């Protein structure tokens, strides 16, 4: 059995009600804790210093200052026993020993898209995705009822694609943003799987996205997997895993879990990331100032365990976010991996559309195909530069395909937000059986 060292990264910060980072050097602008509904709808933790970074190492909470230290974790945190834990069913064994989130650039067994009523409202978007993937990886659309599934099947038929190009699963939800509320899928002891389900909304916002928040339990039942609840508010679009024990997020994740009745300290947070998700290192960077979701996927992605693509904005357009992204790039380049420090490649950020933020890092990895957002009013030379950046860092044989997201961006989301990658070790035979169209109707 493979066993990983359990060391983690403590984030030293001050806690406020909202992130405030109006200047990069010492403050941070207010950031929403959840995606705006306008988009659509036994002892104390023993820690011992191991490595240290300079004071400008890690962006956290109220400032654009980056700092932190590596620590060895000596014991589990007893303080968590008295926390306000979820009442959902929890896996009996508490610490699978060789697990951590897989990387999206790794091979997938399938990709799931959040569709629901938008299969009728934005058929071109889903059709373009199905055509671009072209059977390279099984594609499933989540819909709320059979009529939506039939609409999806009709769309695939009109496009002249084989019925299996995109299948549809009925599973009710409140929104199409499946990336944020779907559970983490982990493998442990080489051939065992489990799902880790987090809270999607804080308690006072629970009713607004109740179906979304219970999607983890539904998925566990769908795949017949045990589910373990982590008592934190986590959104999948705000996490990047390099598949090698490293996890990156934005300060929003840590801030959102330091408030309210079940407020957690920094040691408790890093202990839970380690215990529940198995990661060896957790790093946080500042979100974009003024971007309402506060998610890392709006300005960063990883294409290999030691290669990151990070957005770039000219200082003349947005000096604050330009400096913030530059500092993020500098910091990320200092993070060690098993293949050496992370190599950073910069990619242009498309200009905003009014108040709507757009990104070329909000992508879908699909077994040799990278789907990149495209926008009809952006200078083609900018988009070509973005394509060239990916082509320069992706493995040989990968293809970059552009998907127009003009309508999707009006809902404050893009490709990564509506997609969910299933890792290659997760069987999908039963998923195919319950999908539409049914085999006897083909």
pLDDT at 206: 53
Residue 76 and residue 348: Cα distance in Å, rounded?
Answer: 43
Give 355's DSSP letter. Answer: T
Identify whether 83 is part of a domain. no
- In this prediction, the residues of the chain whose per-residue pLDDT falls under 50 are 1-97, 202-203
Residue 420 and residue 428: Cα distance in Å, rounded?
Answer: 14
Is 28:15 a contact under the CB 8 Å cutoff?
no
pLDDT at 441: 60
349-372, pLDDT tens digit by residue?
999 999 999 999 999 999 999 999
Identify whether 2 is part of a domain. no
Identify whether 84 is part of a domain. no
Give 12's DSSP letter. Answer: P
Identify whether 363 is part of a domain. yes
Pairing between β-strand 246-250 and β-strand 419-423 as defined by DSSP bridges: unpaired
pLDDT at 9: 32
H or E element, residue 346: strand 343-348
The helices-and-strands tally (H runs, E runs) of the chain is 12, 21
Name the token pair of 252: 């929003």
Is 296:250 a contact under the CB 8 Å cutoff?
yes
Residue 134 has φ and ψ, to the nearest 5°, of 50, 45
The SS3 call for residue 331 is helix
Which positions ≥6 away from 88 have C-beta within 8 Å?
197, 217, 227, 229
Identify whether 411 is part of a domain. yes
The H-assigned helical ranges of 282-318 are none
Determine the length of the chain: 442
Tokens 């002891």, residue? 189
Residue 235 and residue 29: Cα distance in Å, rounded?
Answer: 20
196: closest CA among 187, 208, 205?
Answer: 187
Identify whether 64 is part of a domain. yes
pLDDT at 44: 24
Residue 14 and residue 80: Cα distance in Å, rounded?
Answer: 21
The number of domains in the chain is 1
For the chain, how big is the Rg over CA atoms in Å? Answer: 21
pLDDT at 187: 86
18-72, pLDDT tens digit by residue?
333 432 232 333 222 223 333 433 222 222 222 222 222 233 322 322 332 222 2
H or E element, residue 47: strand 47-52
Residue 212 and residue 330: Cα distance in Å, rounded?
Answer: 36
Name the token pair of 261: 């009745």
Taking the alpha carbons at both ends of the chain, their separation in whole angstroms is 44
pLDDT at 179: 96
| Residue 66, domain extent | 7-77+90-441
Identify whether 85 is part of a domain. no
Taken in order 178, 180, 182, 185, the sign of the CA dihedral is positive
**CATH, residue 281:** 3.75.10.10
Identify whether 317 is part of a domain. yes
């Amino acid at each position: 059995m493979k066993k990983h060292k359990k060391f983690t990264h403590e984030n030293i910060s001050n806690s406020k009600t909202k992130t405030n980072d109006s200047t990069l050097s010492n403050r941070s602008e207010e950031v929403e804790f959840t995606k705006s509904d306008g988009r659509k709808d036994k002892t104390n933790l023993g820690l011992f210093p191991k490595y240290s970074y300079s004071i400008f190492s890690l962006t956290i909470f109220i400032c654009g200052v980056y700092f932190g230290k590596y620590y060895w974790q000596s014991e589990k945190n007893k303080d968590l026993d008295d926390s306000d834990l979820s009442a959902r069913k929890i896996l009996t064994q508490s610490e699978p020993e060789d697990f951590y989130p897989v990387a999206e650039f790794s091979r997938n067994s399938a990709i799931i898209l959040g569709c629901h009523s938008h299969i009728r409202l934005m058929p071109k978007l889903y059709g373009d995705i199905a055509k671009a993937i072209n059977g390279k990886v099984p594609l499933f659309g989540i819909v709320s009822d059979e009529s939506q599934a039939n609409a999806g099947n009709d769309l695939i038929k009109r496009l002249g694609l084989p019925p299996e190009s995109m299948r549809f699963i009925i599973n009710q939800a409140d929104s199409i943003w499946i990336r944020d509320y779907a559970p983490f899928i982990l493998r442990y002891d080489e051939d065992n799987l489990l799902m880790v389900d987090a809270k999607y909304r804080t308690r006072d916002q629970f009713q607004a996205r109740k179906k979304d928040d219970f999607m983890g339990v539904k998925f566990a039942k769908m795949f017949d997997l045990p589910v373990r609840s982590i008592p934190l508010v986590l959104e999948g679009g705000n996490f990047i895993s390099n598949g090698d024990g490293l996890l990156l997020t934005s300060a929003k994740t840590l801030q959102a879990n330091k408030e309210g009745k079940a407020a957690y300290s920094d040691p408790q947070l890093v202990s839970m990331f380690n215990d529940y998700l198995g990661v060896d290192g957790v790093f946080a960077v500042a979100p974009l100032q003024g971007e309402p979701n506060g998610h890392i996927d709006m300005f960063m992605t990883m294409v290999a365990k030691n290669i990151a693509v990070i957005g770039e904005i000219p200082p003349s357009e947005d000096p604050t976010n330009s400096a913030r992204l530059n500092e993020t790039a500098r910091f990320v380049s200092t993070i060690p991996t098993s293949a050496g420090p992370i190599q950073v490649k910069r990619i242009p950020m498309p200009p905003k559309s009014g108040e709507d933020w757009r990104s070329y890092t909000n992508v879908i990895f699909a077994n040799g195909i990278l789907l990149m957002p495209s926008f009809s009013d952006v200078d083609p030379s900018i988009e070509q530069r973005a394509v060239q950046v990916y082509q320069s860092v992706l493995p040989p044989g990968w293809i970059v395909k552009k998907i127009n997201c003009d309508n999707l961006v009006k809902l404050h989301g893009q490709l990564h937000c509506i997609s969910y990658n299933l890792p290659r070790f997760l069987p999908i035979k039963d998923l195919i059986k319950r999908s539409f169209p049914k085999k006897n109707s083909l």
